[in-house]
Amino acid sequence: MWQRSKDLAVYVYSVTGSGKFSSDFGLRDQIRRAAVSIASNIAEGDELNTNKQAVHFFFVAKGSTAEVLTQAIISHEIGYIDSHVVAHIQEECDAISRMLSKLIQARKSAV
């Protein structure tokens, strides 16, 4: 899950580094920060001492998947990215979010 979320962040960086995104610093930086937040919060949660602490960070990561997807949809609708790009981002965000849900449930039951 961490690997997949890290790969998503790399992908987001690559698709936002050129074209119309290159001059929209606000949206470009926001989607990049949100994408990096997914992998970062998974890593941080995994390193914490308690399941309760970990679950908090996993919820933040899950929220960041929704943020990335929303920003990708907006980017598509304003013509910054193609439909295949937003489809890939949606597929990855959905998969990561599902994995996080399962991890959260497992860690919650262990509390």
What is the Cα–Cα distance from 104 to 76, expressed in whole angstroms? 31
CA 56 – CA 42 distance, rounded (Å): 10
For 8-45, what is each residue's pLDDT tens digit?
Answer: 999 999 999 999 998 999 999 999 999 999 999 999 99
Give pLDDT tens digits for 38-76.
999 999 999 987 999 999 999 999 999 999 999 999 999
**CATH architecture of the domain covering 2-109:** Up-down Bundle (1.20)
> pTM score, two decimals?
0.94
